Amino acid sequence: MNRLKKIKKTNLKLLLNALSIIGLSLMCIYSTTSSKTLTFFYKEILFVFLGLIIFFIFSHFDYKKYKKYYFLIYFINVLILLSVLVFGISRLGAKRWIDLKFIVVQPSEISKILLILTFSEYLVRRYAVKKKDGIKKVIVSFLHILPIFLLVAKQPDLGTSLVFVYIFIVIIFIDGVNWRVIASLFGSLLAFIPFAFYFLLKEYQQQRILTFLNPESDLLGSGWNVNQSMIAIGSGGIMGKGFMNSSQSKLNFLPEAHTDFIGSVFLEEMGTLGGIVLLGLYFCLIYQIITIGDNSKDEYGKLVCYGIASVFFFHVFVNIGMIMGIMPVTGLPLLFMSYGGSSLIFSFIMLGIVQSVRIHNK
């Protein structure tokens, strides 16, 4: 396909939608960090330009070529997660990051998209001739993501582990598994929760869940972040306090204001109306990704797009629920909003692949 045809098939709305969210993000990052240092703001701008370059590279790379290197991509995915356990640096009791000197990366972010690329192809290869929707297909297919899931859980990273499970459920459902099968498995997972809570979760993860169930039990400790977040959101009201007027972050009451809890800053400054606009932008972004997937001429492109849409939806749903106190604190960033090079680059890669599905479909 020549370059002119590729440009004509480019969905500019997808990119403009993402840039609109990034614009709101830069406002919040500037607001929360300008009184201390503008380093975060300038770094994020640099990451945005780098992300745009990566977006166009992945947009013009034919997504169908990932199918050819299916086994290699899976091997790389396992390898980078193993490297975290060996070379990773620890923060807040977890080993999730690798310091490359010029940037600190979180491999589990890129691992999500690598899993989507390989799991989609796995289903297409294994069940292309005869579609199956039984419990056996679900269990056998889960073995594909199990090594990835366990390596991330080992870090430990509960939030990303749950993202993998959600990706699995969405892709296998779109591939044709009956919803009753998924519902029965979901019921089994609910029954497994007590065992996982007492025997699989770390102490700090247990504390997060207990704090979610009763935030007032430790207001000066584990419940501090969520409580301050809800105060910030409540004080914003309908119209918000205005740009640069987020008192909770300015007075250092709200930790991680430019990362995990950036949504709290935005809602305090822009109010409920601003929150509706932000959610509307995310809704449009996810809708466009799904539409591109539905218009794909091959099953692989469709599954990849739905997998990427599931990542955006899960991050938005959990992060917004977390800052409002209706979901446990998991550390999942609000994609395109939260400060961080890894999550921003990862988000641009995902959109680039979606754009590739649109451009390279014949």
Kindly indicate the confidence band of residue 104, based on its pLDDT and cuts at 50, 70 and 90: confident
Query: What's the pLDDT at 303?
Result: 95
In DSSP terms, 99 is beta-bridged to: 104
CB-neighbour burial class of residue 172 (10 A; exposed 0-12, middle 13-18, buried 19+): buried
Least confident of 173-187, 202-216, 307-321, 336-350: 202-216
Nearest to residue 22, comparing CAs of 349, 346, 339?
Answer: 339
pLDDT category, 280, cuts 50, 70, 90?
very high
Query: Which pLDDT score is estimated for 2?
Result: 64
Please state, for a pLDDT cut of 70, what percent of the chain lies above it: 82
Give me the pLDDT at residue 210, please: 63
Per-residue pLDDT tens over the stretch 112-147: 999 999 999 998 887 655 556 667 778 888 889 999
Question: If phi over 0 gives left and psi between -120 and 50 gives alpha, with beta otherwise, what is residue 313?
Answer: alpha
- 3-state SS, 297-358, equals CCHHHHHHHHHHHHHHHHHHHHHHHHHCCCCCCCCCCCCCCCCCHHHHHHHHHHHHHHHHHH
pLDDT digits (tens, 9 = 90+) for 30-70: 888 876 777 888 999 999 999 999 999 999 999 999 998 98
Beta strands in 154-313 (DSSP E): none
d(CA 73, CA 115): 8
What three-state secondary structure class fits 261?
A: coil
**Mean pLDDT, rounded, of the chain:** 83
Supply the pTM of this predicted model: 0.89
The whole-number pLDDT of residue 94 equals: 72
The residue with tokens 């745009």 is: 52
Contacts of residue 295, defined as CB under 8 A and 6 or more positions apart, other chains included, come to 358, 361
Query: Of the candidates 318, 320, 307, 316, which has an alpha carbon nearest to the alpha carbon of residue 350?
Result: 307
Residues 289-335 pLDDT 10s: 999 999 998 899 999 999 999 999 999 999 998 888 777 777 788 99
162-184 average pLDDT score: 83
Higher pLDDT, 218 or 338: 338
User: Domain ranges in the chain?
Assistant: 3-359
